[in-house]
Amino acid sequence: MQTLIEALRKSAVLVVNRFYEELARLPKSRRILEMLSAEELAHLKDRQIQNLLALADPGLSSKEHAAMAMRIGRIHAVVGLDKEELVRSRGILQELLYKLIGRDVGGQALSLYARRLTSDTAWQLKAYQAVEDSQQDVLQRITRIVWEAGSYTHFIDQLVSVLGGHDEVTACTIGRPDEAGIFHFEAGAGGSGEGGLVAVLTAHGHEISVRADHPDGQGAVGRAWRSGHAERVVNYQTDPLVERWRDVAAREGLRSSVAIPIAAPGHAPIAIVMLFSAYPGGFVGPDQVAFIELLQTLLSCVASRLQTHDGLHGGAVPVSVRQHWAALVRTGALEMHYQPLLTLANGQVSKVEALARLRDGERLLTPDEFLFALSSDDLLALFARGLGQALDDRARWLAAGHDLEISVNLPPAALNDLRYFDAAREALETHACPSRRLTLEVLENESISLSHGQRAILGKFRALGVLLAQDDLGSGHSGLARLRELPFDWIKIDREIAHIAGDAALDALRVVYQITRLGHSLGKLVLAEGVDSADLLKALALLGVDGAQGYEIARPMPADELLGWIGGAARVSVAPVGESVLTRLARFVVWEERAFILATLPEAARGLLDSDDAAARTALADALISFGDILPAGAERDALQRDMLHAVVKGGRHSEAWQAALARLMRAISAAPLAA
């Protein structure tokens, strides 16, 4: 062995230089070598020499050998050295050794050395397998979080933690550009120092732009944002396009990267994921290309899902701002405001919805500004603290003689996370609040139907005795199945649906009416949100809607203003407005529904319409379905009532006669003078 070591000491440089000349003839290996700077190549050769000497060390235990070979194999896998070429290159190395030092070394030592070289290769291949397994594992975990993604912020936090833990990835960041095209990091994993890579990149002001005409727009992020494809930096030290980030990359030990757009098929990206490797040439080997492609496909699924979520119209929020908001949630900066919910049947307010606000210096932030930027833990803190505050306020109101119910928003994540349930139970206990006094509002914007686990958690809330409300019905895509299956006490119709404008008013009222009927037939109460006019409020009452919430009744207000507001009872009752176009349309919607039902009984209906006795005819028609206040009394109203009834009974709702009569009625409703 000693002669072998001496021979190696003498000739290793030659062996290694020749070896790299040969390697440069293998197509895939050449590509990797070409990516290296002169220094990097020299460093690599040096390492190779050390390695050859170490293999000749008689004291090398097989355990040490395995560890060393696995380490090198992992690097080879991560830089994307092709597996077949690895095996071939080991053959070349062995040949060179025989040729260049074989004559000076005894056969026994040489064959021992050859055996070590062979097992070295085997260990390296094992390391390849480990990297591949890690890739599989990462893809599986990402599939799961893509599938369960509730909010953008939560998703990217999970994504960086999975990707950051992957073998091939030293650091990972995610972000989006603002309106000026400046890229902001929103989440990150890995990197040196406190706050990790994101803090470094932000603090040093290494601005990144996504604009082609911007000097900072030529990096992988900018190119990926514009092309919609994965874009790579194979070596920060040699790639002229990324010269301006060369120093920070070197300091942080980042040698190469890939920027992967998160984009729904055929759509512009919504965000960019950046993976960094500690080695040059990261992410260009065939396995890695396949891995990145799969990853991008998975991310495209999440893009389609998240695009419909609130989180994405807000633009990027830098990590520092998110952290600031997260801190505000956990301090006295959280202020719950309360918006009265009106019971339409009696014009009373016995319940308020608690809505979160964050005091940030002079500004009072609303949920639209901060909610989507909160992580899942921040949301839990918001829920627990918000609920605590609301129950405190409730206790004060109770002491002043007002026993108000409280409605609190439950984020979608609460159905996957028992901590919310625990927080609710604890808060009720601590505040000695009867559970029926608390309603939890669950957003609709989750996936099509609830999983077994989510149902179970809803069941626990129910068993606790709190009321449940389906929030924002009509804003998401859950559909009617969810309405039927889930144990909600209340349905809150989203304000987009109740939002009544111009020509669409008739249809909007029809939808509200049908949802109300459906809700009632399922044993649920129905509330309309976003009620911002007295006419609409009255129309909703006519449609039989149970509750209303909106600026017309009151805006959300601080706790200490609420009692004063409730004291001013005049403002609470449904304002006694006169007739309006909306109230007439609402009456018509109810009448129309009854007329349709009548039309399903053709025999009875015809008998009624064709009776010889005019007085009986009118009396019967009015008893069944009064055309009443749809229009002011008069000949036109009577004629329209008759024509519409005939049209629907004889021809049905799709007949031309019905459509023509309907058009006449609409004109008459808009033209009729309104009572003062």
Give the tokens for residue 591.
């009448």
Report the alpha-carbon distance of residue 73 to residue 77 in Å, rounded.
6
Residue 93 makes contact with ligand C2E by CB under 6 A? no
Minimum CB separation of residue 145 from Ca ion in Å reads: 26
- If one asks whether residue 314 binds ligand C2E (CB under 6 A), the answer comes out as no
What is the identity of the amino acid at 196? G
Give the CA diameter of the chain: 128
Show the binding pattern over residues 104-143: x = contacts ligand C2E (CB under 6 A), - = does not.
----------------------------------------
Rounded to an integer, what distance in angstroms lies between the CA atom of residue 440 and that of residue 550?
A: 18
Which residue in the shown chain puts its C-beta closest to Ca ion? 441
- Residue 666, burial from CB neighbour count under 10 angstroms (0-12, 13-18, 19+): middle
Q: Quick check: 280 binds ligand C2E (CB under 6 A)? A: no
Q: How far is CA 608 from CA 625, 630, 662, in A?
A: 12, 21, 21
Of the candidate residues 218, 235, 237, 409, the single one contacting Ca ion (CB under 5 A) = 409
Find the part of the chain contacting ligand C2E (CB under 6 A) among 186-194, 534-542, 546-554, 643-651. Answer: 546-554
H-type helices in 371-504, by residue range? 376-399, 418-430, 452-464, 479-485, 495-498
Q: Which two tokens stand for residue 622?
A: 């009015």
- Please identify which residue in 202, 256, 288, 339 interacts with ligand C2E, judged by CB under 6 A: 339
Please give the Cα distance from 630 to 588 (Å, whole number): 6
Asked if residue 256 binds ligand C2E (CB under 6 A), the reply is: no
Round to whole Å and give the CA distance between 116 and 557. 77
Residue 127 binding: pick among Ca ion, ligand C2E, none (C-beta 5-8 Å cut-off by kind): none
In the numeric block, the tokens 């329209």 are attached to 640
Q: Which does 366 bind (CB under 5 to 8 A by kind): Ca ion, ligand C2E, none?
A: ligand C2E
556 binds ligand C2E (CB under 6 A): yes
The residue (of 231 and 471) whose beta carbon lies closer to Ca ion is 471
Q: Is 476 in the site for ligand C2E (CB under 6 A)?
A: no
Site for ligand C2E in 362-391 (CB under 6 A): 366-368, 371, 379, 382, 386
Instruction: Tell whether residue 355 is a contact of ligand C2E (CB under 6 A).
Output: yes
Contact 503, 523 (CB under 8 A): no
E strands present in 504-597: 525-528, 547-548, 557-558
Closer to ligand C2E by CB, 366 or 416: give it: 366
* Span 414-443, contacts to Ca ion by CB under 5 A: 441
Least Å distance, CB 266 to Ca ion, is: 32
Q: How far is CA 459 from CA 216, 362, 465, 488, 489, in A?
A: 53, 42, 10, 10, 13
Residue 530 interacting partner from Ca ion, ligand C2E, none (CB closer than 5 to 8 Å by kind): ligand C2E
H or E element, residue 610:
helix 602-610
Nearer to ligand C2E, 275 or 458 (CB): 458
Q: Which is nearer to Ca ion, 308 or 659 (CB)?
A: 308
Q: With CB cut-offs between 5 and 8 Å by kind, which of ligand C2E, Ca ion, none does residue 168 bind?
A: none
Is 359 within 8 Å of 333 (Cβ atoms)? yes
Residue 356 touches which member of ligand C2E, Ca ion, none, C-beta under 5-8 Å by kind: ligand C2E
For Ca ion, the closer CB: 162 or 440: 440
The interface region with ligand C2E, picked from 97-105, 196-204, 276-284, 545-553 by CB under 6 A, is 545-553
CA angle 337, 342, 348 (to 5 degrees): 110
Contact between 439 and ligand C2E by CB under 6 A: the answer reads no
**What letter does residue 276 receive in the DSSP assignment?**
E
Cβ nearer to ligand C2E, comparing 379 with 562:
379
Show the tokens assigned to 473.
């019905």
List of residues 6+ apart from 377 with CB closer than 8 A: none
Contact between 70 and 127 under an 8 Å Cβ cutoff? The reply is yes
Among 6, 95, 392, 532, binds ligand C2E (CB under 6 A): 532
* 403 contact, one of ligand C2E, Ca ion, none, CB 5-8 Å limit per kind: none
DSSP state for residue 675 in the 8-state scheme: P
Contact residues: Ca ion, CB under 5 A: 409, 441, 471-472, 529
Contact residues: ligand C2E, CB under 6 A: 339, 355-356, 366-368, 371, 379, 382, 386, 409, 411, 441, 471-472, 495, 529-532, 549-551, 556
